[in-house]
Structure 1
Amino acid sequence: MQSPRLNKSCDQCRSRKVRCIVPPAQPRHVACTHCIKRNETCQFSNLKRRLRAKDPSTPQKGSSNPTPSAELFIDHLMRNPSESAVLYDEFSILKAHDDRVPSSGIAFFSPKRVDSLVKRLADTRLEDLIHQIDKTIRTRLLARPEREISLYTLAKAPTQLEVDPEADSHVQRYFEVLHPIYPFLDRRAFEEKARISNVLHLLGTDYAFCGLYYAILALGCQYDGFSSFIPDNNRAWKFFQISLSRLDQILTSSESLANLQALTAMALFATSAFGHQLDRPLLAAASRMVLALRYHKSILNEDSALCHRIFWVIYHLEKRYSFQAGTSSVIADCDIGCPIQTAPESMIGGYNWLLSSVRYSRILSIAYASLFSVSASTHSDDTLLASVDHVHSVLEEWRQSIPLEFRPKEPLQRRRLIDGASKEIALRTHYYYYHIIIALERLTLHVSRDIARSENAMRALLNTAREVINLTRFIDVEPYTPVFILAILPLSALFILFDFVIHHPSDPETRGYLTLLDIVAGHFSQLDHASSGAIPSSYLSEFSHMARQYVQTVQRKPDTAHNAPLSESSGGLSATHTTTTAAVETNSMPNPAMGPSDPALMEGVDESSLDNLYFLTPDSDWTVGMHSLEEFDPREFYGSIFL
């Protein structure tokens, strides 16, 4: 058992949010300069540790080799079967644990963060709002209260085969917009089969083609305007139900390429329109079947190009879903040996989307295994930060490989979006990049002890939120738009900016962030209107109203300490910003000649004046005289606000 470790700052300095300085002549943890001057008792409390399972093979803090261990946590449990670790389930969609950063972009509000925000706002409406959002997302806004939606009930619902007079138009729309994104079909073979004179007889006898055909009609007719945000008597939903009526036969018969194509098309419809309620079992079934068919291997007797392409489409879908849901993938990357076939339909203006989407999916797989898995949660902070750096490196390589007109962090020009496929691929590329950036930077803020690194992470989060909201003007507020683009990323951006504005109401950028909050609130109000209230999202404008009202209150009372004192238990991603700037004053910048060992630098600092400053940068004056930023641990100095 580890011996207790004392905080680097005494209790009195911690409560005042000032730097605790012990004179060189004094033994460590005896009495600091401020307590000696005030003739107070100088008390150093024990450091509150974050409990983690200890593994001898895992590098510890301060290790010169932060390379992640090849051993998994399950190996440790096999050696010590009675031992358990402090691990946290990520099942919650919206709420996060105090001591764990999940991969989900919207699992944001930990109890400490909510507590910090409520104290500053002096209003409990935020808690009620978070509960309402969580409940809305959990139900996926999909079903009427009196109606259960499940694959079983849908597959058993009575249906009748029909030939739609506009079937050719729906098929064409599918191949124009979605086929370039998911090129798992042979277009010519499908259209020849779909246009035969006795197609109704074929649909009645070939259950695999029937499931595929009606799933394609369901996907295509959404782009022709025959859909809605709730399952109803719209045409797309009707076609999807007919497709699902063949699900039992597909799942109980032998695995085949035709069955796999039908499952993939069904999963695409569920993913694009309805989120986690229906896409999870369909995608799981498709993943199991593609592995059973061994399409992830390079030796095949069938059409190898088509088999490999459908594998990579499923790989992309499954890896992206797993990362968003905070679960491990069922496809083992170490067992993949098939080439990535060229898909001419996915070449958009020189941009090889299929290859790019596969590369991105591999990055998600690396990030989850090394940063967000159960085994990763037992790694030391140094190991996690080394893994974050690695993921950043491969992510930047991926970004640089993308043509300039589609590249994230570059302006997205409307004139480049010449058709539906180009627009879909451009938005997905940008939002995919920003999703993983949000996950990486939030984790960095959670584990980093370096002031400059924490500042850079915070800036990256704010810039990412800004870009996500700016891109909402390109989003089609339509039922066919994936929930990830339509709601999840904009909601994540809203949370980031709201948290920052409440903790930093006097920051120079706050006015711009309030405008961005209004923009994203308008996006959700538009979604509420377009869905005729089926997706009740206009209440999200409450975040913008609360933030603006709070900032105005602070500006009207500049002489009051508007920042509620951040206790040791206060949480909040942006609280880092307020506290790390506690080395300087707003109206009196420090003299470059003064180092952190000078007590005058911290004496008399008013916490309420700190919101106008950004994080300290590596060349900030406050760092002058410090031997290394590694000597300063923000979590130990400021308590648990870095959570």
Structure 2
Amino acid sequence: MDPPIEETDTSPNGFAVARATSRLPTTSAISQQYVDRILDDCHFREQRQNDRSVLIASNQYPGSSTLAYFSEKRITALTKILGHSRVEEILSSIDNSVTTHLEGSGNPISASTVMSSSVSASEYLFQHASLYIKAYFDEVHPIYPFLNRAAFEAMAFDPGLRVTLAAGKAWSALYHAVLGLGCLHCGGGSFLPAKGHAWKFFKISLGLLPDILSGKRTLVTAQAMTAMAVFATNYSSLHVEELPVIEAARVALVLGLGKRFKSGESEVDRSCTFWIIYCLEKEYAFNVTRCSVINDCDIGCPLPPNENQPLRELDWLRTWASHCRIMTSAYDSLFSVSATLNSTEVYLEEIDHVYQRLNRWRDCIPEDFRPGLPIRPHKLGNRLLTSLALRIHLMYYNILVAISRLALHVEDKPSDRHSRSKITLMEAARSIIDATQFIVFEPFTSTWIMGHMPLAATFVLFDFVVHNPTHPETRKNLSFLDVSAGYFSRMEMATDGYVAGSTMAEFSHIARQHVSALQASGNRHSQGAGGNVSGGGGGGEDGGGDRSRSGDGGGSEGPFIKDKNSGIVVGDTSSGNGQDKQTQETMGNEMGLQNEAIWGHDSLMGSSEYYPSNTHHFHSAEDADTLIYPTDSTSMFFDGGEFLDFNVANFFGPSNM
């Protein structure tokens, strides 16, 4: 049970304070399972989903995968704003490419093809076995500590190794998977699917799968599946990533590794194996918007003692497992199909709970590894610790991006929370891109670190720039997009073109082109208008222009009103401006945003109807039915041709300035 959350416990990002509670809110919709509705009503036919594909999100229910950022409606909105469909083409290309690799198109794997020439491959590389085993325990084991080194090396270097490999299928699969992982760190890997010397070892392990899964399940079986699951996180194994992860979890369930001790086996070995499987499977499930195979309410296995010397004061396995527990809780309460039954109030309460847990988790991490603080390789001392710090940072921002995006999606009115969610999302994306400087372009680097997270961050900042081209932070966001473009271009070079990094780098070019076009358009209009931006006649506050769209000269605010909470000038849904309240609510509801248009536009999830295209001039409310974000001290908002000063503290809150 989680410790109580005190009323004074605020997150560093300034999110709403959670009410005191001993665990998940009692009003949570977790108890309201969607399947119960299906079973209770024989006429029930509604089907809900929270994902479309690897890269495309659901229009109505955002999933937990931060990579599936853009929905179909969102892509349509971007197309209208930009005036071209290049973004849609890029996303479609990336989505098709990833799907193809995940499905293994063109690279079919069967037991017969895998086993062919496996002996010759093993014979060729056996002479380097000791080198690969050492590399495994130096580079891989500190991150995935599920093997007993002394016991493994005793068998691996035994003169009768050939006999034990032939007699024990599970042991052979484990042995060759370890050699493959070590070979990856000795330069034997490749980014190409099923290529490289390391893959030859992994191929042997894959070929043994039918035998080890149909035979007697033992701890060695679970360890073999775990080693294969670790190997499958890299680019060369993208098309088989799911298989070993899911099968490892199933073997753990069959053996009861998570809740009972079996005599004759080391309790520490069982515990280490279970918790690594737990973390691998939980991360995979969350990142593909899928329910976990492992049920957390049925776990009674204690964590092993922290004896990981290379990691200094960091209790890495506890840190990782605790993070995965938060992911599971977040998925169940916020991203599952049953979570779509949540009311707005329940959603926000659950989001607060996850924020609080996530920030408490972060605060328990030693400063050298803590997200939110700079990664300093010179203090960490070696590449292993730097890569671990990078991983912890990305783990934190992965959840932060997912729940911040969801908070924007479910919020239906202007509030400090809404504004801070936008800021948090933007800053998280920047932090991810800033961390790319520490990512190593090597075949052993996981696809989640090298591809998933940088691309997700690029999507976020691109979206911010396109929808907020005049925001004072846009220049900085464009700089971060340039960093992202450079990163993906280098990735394309490092992978010999296998990863189409130049395609992903186009987001920076498109964003800059969009902002430049708007600036040029605005400059031309200012020169032609002779300084009168209203184009209307009489009646304004300064006598320089009509504040209504219709030009009635009455000095009324017309279709624009000032929000009472923040002082922001926004569209008046009660005015007859061609979009009545019902129409605006309908458009907002299509994106799961009731009345989002009322306060201008949500920079992430709103409808494109509230944005001008890049050929429009920003000179009147008629041309700019949108909300432009505030500057550092004041913001210039359009209201019938006039600019209104706005105190930013009313919008963001003084604590965030």
Task: Please classify the TM superposition score into its range, dividing by the shorter chain length.
Answer: 0.7 to 0.9
Match of 1:216 among 175, 178, 181: 178
**Residue in 1 aligned with 2:438?**
474
Deviations 1:455-504 (A, max 9, x none): 10110011001100010010001111011100111001101111111111
CA RMSD of aligned residues (A): 3.2
Match of 1:304 among 251, 267, 274: 267
Letter in structure 1 aligned against 2:603: S
**Residue in 1 aligned with 2:394?**
431
Aligned-residue offset at 1:602: 8.4
State, as a whole percentage, how many aligned pairs show the same letter.
35
1:336-415 to structure 2, matched below 5 A, reads 336-345=299-308, 348-415=311-378
Gap change, CA 1:154 and 1:327, over 3 Å in 2: farther
Matches of 1:603 and 1:289, distance apart in 2 = 64
Letter in structure 1 aligned against 2:53: S
Aligned-residue offset at 1:275: 5.8
**Residue in 1 aligned with 2:97?**
136
Q: Which range moved further: 195-204 or 370-379?
A: 195-204
Deviations 1:525-545 (A, max 9, x none): 111111111122211121111
Letter in structure 2 aligned against 1:98: N
TM normalised by structure 1 equals 0.78
Match of 1:94 among 55, 60, 63: 55
Deviations 1:285-310 (A, max 9, x none): 11111111111114321211110110
Higher RCO (C-alpha 8 Å, min separation 6): 1
Match of 1:495 among 459, 469, 474: 459
**Residue in 2 aligned with 1:21?**
none
1:318 aligns with 2:277: no
Aligned-residue offset at 1:347: 6.2
Aligned-residue offset at 1:582: 4.1
Runs of 4+ in 1 over 6 A off after TM superposition: 576-581, 583-588, 609-615
Aligned-residue offset at 1:575: 5.4
**Residue in 1 aligned with 2:297?**
334
Q: Which range moved further: 500-509 or 550-559?
A: 550-559
Letter in structure 2 aligned against 1:512: K
Q: Which runs of 5+ in 1 are unaligned?
A: 1-63, 592-600, 621-643
Letter in structure 2 aligned against 1:447: V
Letter in structure 2 aligned against 1:505: P
Q: Secondary structure at the match of 1:271?
A: coil
1:50-89 to structure 2, matched below 5 A, reads 66-85=27-46, 87-89=48-50
**Residue in 2 aligned with 1:113?**
74
1:616 aligns with 2:628: no
Match of 2:116 among 157, 166, 172: 157
Deviations 1:410-442 (A, max 9, x none): 111011343343123211111010000000000
Q: Secondary structure at the match of 1:148?
A: coil
Deviations 1:69-101 (A, max 9, x none): 523222233322322445124241111122111
Q: Which range moved further: 427-436 or 509-518?
A: 509-518
1:130-279 to structure 2, matched below 5 A, reads 130-140=91-101, 147-150=106-109, 152=111, 154-160=113-119, 161-162=122-123, 164-231=126-193, 233-274=195-236, 276-279=238-241
Gap change, CA 1:203 and 1:589, over 3 Å in 2: closer
Deviations 1:106-162 (A, max 9, x none): 11111222122112211121111111111122123896x6x3233546544342042
Match of 1:551 among 491, 508, 515: 515
**Residue in 1 aligned with 2:22?**
none
**Residue in 2 aligned with 1:127?**
88
Q: Which runs of 5+ in 2 are unaligned?
A: 1-24, 527-577, 592-600, 612-624
Match of 1:421 among 380, 384, 401: 384
CA contact (8 A) 1:208 1:262 kept: yes
Matches of 2:514 and 2:34, distance apart in 1 = 45
Deviations 1:174-223 (A, max 9, x none): 11111111111000111111112232333222222211111001101111
CA contact (8 A) 1:150 1:277 kept: no
**Residue in 2 aligned with 1:294?**
256
Aligned-residue offset at 1:547: 0.8
Matches of 1:357 and 1:129, distance apart in 2 = 34
Letter in structure 2 aligned against 1:221: C
Q: Secondary structure at the match of 2:456?
A: helix
CA contact (8 A) 1:66 1:382 kept: no
TM normalised by structure 2 equals 0.77
CA contact (8 A) 1:584 1:605 kept: no
Matches of 1:228 and 1:141, distance apart in 2 = 17
Deviations 1:21-45 (A, max 9, x none): xxxxxxxxxxxxxxxxxxxxxxxxx
Aligned-residue offset at 1:603: 5.0
CA contact (8 A) 1:585 1:606 kept: no
Aligned length: 543
Gap change, CA 1:197 and 1:177, over 3 Å in 2: same
Gap change, CA 1:184 and 1:398, over 3 Å in 2: same
